[in-house]
């Protein structure tokens, strides 16, 4: 909320500059023009926003489930963890610009390549957060549970998993800021609809106002998802309120 006055100031300055500098709106559209054009095109924009939301959410859900399952496996199988983590680090070094067209080439223009790309980008931060979270468990708590006769599985469920929750939500928040961008990028690389396609078309038609309208929607999406993770965290971790 503190960011609001700053945001308003930037938009105002932009509006003034666009109007007074004499730069044509085909190069630098004023915020007011973007808003008006976005409203006029609202149906097309909405039609293209829905597929992006779908790809983001499905890819993100897929990636979260996968990261969780794998983190559990790696917590119980230490040698596997040492063997696999470097592989996942490598997956993070792949440039999206190069990977996105390839994934589209392999999996076509449908939903699958988008889900895969979103997962590729968001998977590792979450996996790492979970693993670090498990390891953050207080040794005293583990010693206590062992003294009570708890099995390794019980120690995991009663201590390691809840200890990892704050870390997990941090990872979730970092990941989610990449997710929307990754989905748009995947569409840009090849799709029939979506914000990425909308941006591509607007650019080809020399409509920077519409490009920026789509950018605004993408930011709004990310912010919404970000706020959503906070809400979920409040419900899941009532003790941390």
Least gap, CB of 238 to another protein (angstroms)? 8
Closer CB to another protein, 38 or 165, in the complex: 165
CA atoms of 11 and 120, how far apart (whole Å): 34
- Where helices occur in 26-77 by DSSP H, the ranges are 31-40, 42-76
Contact code string over 156-175 relative to another protein, x by CB under 8 A = --xx--x--x----------
Residue 84 vs 150, nearer CB to another protein: 150
Quickly count: other Cβ atoms within 10 Å of residue 8's Cβ: 10
91 scored as a contact of another protein (CB under 8 A): no
DSSP per-residue letters across 216-235: HHHHHHHHHHHHHHHHHHHH
Residue from 12, 40, 105, 148 binding another protein (CB under 8 A): 148
Span 199-238, contacts to another protein by CB under 8 A: 237
Q: Does 143 bind another protein (CB under 8 A)?
A: yes
Q: Which residue has the tokens 């928040």?
A: 173
Q: What part of residues 37-66 is at the interface with another protein (CB under 8 A)?
A: none
- Smallest distance, another protein to C-beta of residue 235, A: 13
Q: What sign does the CA torsion over 26, 32, 35, 41 have?
A: negative
In the complex, the smallest distance separating the C-beta of residue 131 from another protein, rounded to whole angstroms, is 19
Binding-site size, another protein (CB under 8 A): 19
What whole-number distance in Å separates Cα of residue 167 and Cα of residue 165? 5
Give yes or no for residue 150 binding another protein (CB under 8 A): yes
Q: Is the backbone of residue 221 left (phi > 0), alpha (psi -120 to 50) or beta?
A: alpha
Give the interface segment with another protein, choosing from 36-44, 119-127, 142-150, 215-223 (CB under 8 A): 142-150
Are the CB atoms for 103 and 116 separated by under 8 Å? Answer: yes
Q: Pick the closer one to another protein by CB: 117 or 159.
A: 159
Q: Spell out a b/e string for 227-240, using b for 16 or more CB atoms within 10 Å of the CB, else e.
A: eeeeeebeeeeeee
- Contact residues for another protein, defined by CB under 8 A: 138, 140-141, 143-150, 154, 158-159, 162, 165, 237, 239-240
């Amino acid at each position: 909320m503190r960011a609001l006055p700053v945001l308003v100031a930037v938009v105002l300055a932009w509006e003034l500059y666009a109007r007074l500098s004499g730069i044509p709106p085909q190069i630098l559209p004023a915020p007011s023009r973007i808003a008006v054009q976005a409203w006029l095109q609202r149906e097309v924009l909405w039609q293209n926003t829905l597929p992006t939301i779908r790809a983001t959410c499905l890819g993100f859900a897929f990636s979260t489930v996968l990261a969780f399952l794998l983190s559990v496996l790696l917590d119980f199988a230490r040698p596997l963890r040492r063997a696999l983590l470097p592989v996942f680090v490598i997956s993070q070094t792949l440039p999206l610009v190069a990977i996105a067209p390839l994934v589209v080439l392999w999996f076509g223009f449908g939903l699958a390549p988008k889900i895969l790309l979103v997962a590729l980008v968001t998977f590792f931060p979450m996996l790492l957060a979970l693993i670090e979270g498990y390891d953050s468990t207080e040794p005293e708590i583990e010693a206590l549970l062992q003294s009570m006769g708890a099995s390794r599985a019980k120690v995991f469920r009663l201590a390691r998993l809840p200890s990892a929750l704050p870390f997990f939500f941090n990872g979730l928040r970092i990941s989610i800021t990449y997710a929307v961008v990754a989905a748009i990028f995947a569409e840009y690389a090849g799709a029939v609809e979506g914000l990425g396609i909308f941006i591509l078309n607007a650019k080809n038609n020399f409509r920077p106002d519409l490009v920026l309208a789509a950018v605004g929607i993408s930011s709004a999406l990310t912010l919404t998802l970000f706020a959503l993770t906070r809400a979920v965290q409040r419900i899941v971790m009532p003790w941390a309120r």
